[in-house]
Chains A and B, each alone.
Chain A
Amino acid sequence: MLVVLAVVGTGVLVLPLVALLLATPWSDLPALVADPAVLQALRLSLLTAACTTLVALVLGVPLAWVLAHDDLRGAWLLRSLVTVPLVLPPVVGGVALLLLLGRRGLLGRSLDTWFGVTVPFTSAAVVLAQLFVSLPFLVLAVEGALRGADRRRALAAQTLGASPAYVLRRVTLPSVAPGVAAGAALCFTRALGEFGATVTFAGSFPGTTRTMPLAVYLALDTAPEQAVAMSVLLLLLSVAVLVALRGRWLGGLPAAHAARTTRVRA
């Protein structure tokens, strides 16, 4: 009984992708993917997702570090706030960003009148939309790694007179590097797949804001085989990240851990 349900559950997740792979015109795939419009969307997607991941690392690691401190009052509130974008429909995130940074938005209005800067319809808007939906993935992954880390060495460093920033940079972060890498990879793939917030907040223009998911959605009506080709490309990219991630989890993590403990013993 349970096994049957498990099989059905697996089918729900796997069968659509099987259908996608079966519908893929493999022989035409290179030509479809080499289309300048596809390459343009792919380049924009990789660039914006990479930017998003960098910004997420810079902002997210300190945020995770703060959250990992149990003595912090109101940490539960902060964690709830960080989790909200995770459960929010991305399109709602897009609307919210528009109301904050749009031309008539809370901050956007001032940006427009004082600096002549309008955020929507720019690649920066794409990064902001991606950041809104993918930053929580990184923060929660890094927080989990920080909590799982052995704090004794950090405490030891602290008693030897190291500043909190120094301890974080030289002791704590290196020990949770696999967790940070996993968080960054999750953040990157989530950014790569972002659709709702991007199309709502950033619009859709080739080379500036039309990322792969937006291009897939537009092509579905007019050039279905191209939409399928782009979907397969995104699937392969995501699976590649997953494989790299699993390499870390299965091989990298225990090996690195073992190496560290040996080094400490030596």
Chain B
Amino acid sequence: MAALGLVLVTALAGCAAAPSPAPHPGGEVGAGLDGTVVVLAAASLTDVVGEIAGQVERAHPGLTVRTAFGASSTLAAQVAAGAPADVLVTSSAETMGLATDAVGGSPVVVATNGLQLAVPAGNPGGVTSLADLADPGLTVALCAPEVPCGDLAVQVLARAGVTPAPDTYERDVRGVLARLRLDEADAGLVYRTDVVAGADAVEGIELPEAVQVVTEHLALASPTAPRPEAAAVVVAALLGPAGRRVLADAGFGLP
């Protein structure tokens, strides 16, 4: 009976595959950079943080960088609740505030981002400016105003004095990008980095500076980090020349 229960629980746990906080093997303070450093980062930074983590591991052969990605708000809440994370990277100052309110520390801006008007390759709708988003004849995809990219779109469109006529509100920016890549929508507002990620399938049109709203990505070496010296190394890598090159290639702005 108990054995069966154990089997069930193990099976469920196996299905869930929840990342468990890793121990820090060989992590004696001052013994050089080895062991494991845990980095939590916003999903929008998956590729760049993964690449920069690789750079750190190559520079410090004894060190393993464990990365986990998710919504900034979720990750910040985890850090605030005492998750054994060394570095937190969020996609907004507000979400970073959730973490620093609880654990303190001074986050630094590692990259900036902003919206771009995006169209499918070849621009089938002949879109040239934000004003085209008000054209009811065009199929327009925007993020829902309830989510961060949609909130940003509302601000940008208000600055531009455009009342959009969207055909669908997506729950996240990747949803908008998918509509454009599949050529189901003529135009949408996505992050500049998403246009870069969309490669040949999507073209970006830069917004006028006067209407652009810049978002900041912040990194925090947590004051409660199990590996403070390794945390500092990761944050330095995000700010260093190699890290900046990775961020710039992905379309991020640099502070």
Contacts and interface: CB of A to CB of B under 8 A. Distances in A.
Interface of A: 1, 4, 8, 98, 102-104, 118, 120-121, 199, 203-206, 209-210, 217-219, 221-223
B101 interface: no
> Which of B8, B144, B184 has the most A CB atoms < 10 Å from its CB?
B184
Interface string B137-163: 001010010110000000000000000
B147 A221 contact: yes
Interface of B: 1, 8, 139, 141, 144, 146-147, 166-171, 179, 182-184
A166 to B, nearest CB: 46
A108 B36 CA distance: 52
Nearest to B145: A222
A103 B183 contact: yes
Given A121-B139, A218-B144, A221-B147, A205 B167 contact: yes
A217 B144 CA distance: 12
Given A104-B182, A104-B183, A203 B168 contact: yes
A100 B169 CA distance: 22
B168 A209 contact: yes
A118 B168 contact: no
A193 B199 CA distance: 36
Nearest to A201: B184
A219 B169 CA distance: 13
A212 to B, nearest CB: 15
Contacts of B1: 1, 4
Enumerate the 5 nearest inter-chain pairs by beta-carbon distance, A residue then B residue, closest first.
A203-B168, A222-B146, A121-B167, A104-B183, A205-B168
> Which of A1, A204, A206, A219 has the most B CB atoms < 10 Å from its CB?
A204
A218 B184 contact: no
Nearest to A4: B1
A138 to B, nearest CB: 29
Given A203-B169, A204-B171, A219-B146, 11 more contacts: A8-B8, A98-B184, A102-B184, A120-B184, A203-B167, A203-B168, A204-B170, A205-B169, A217-B171, A218-B171, A221-B146
Contacts of A219: 146
B168 A102 contact: no
Contacts of B166: 205
A204 B178 CA distance: 14
A252 to B, nearest CB: 40
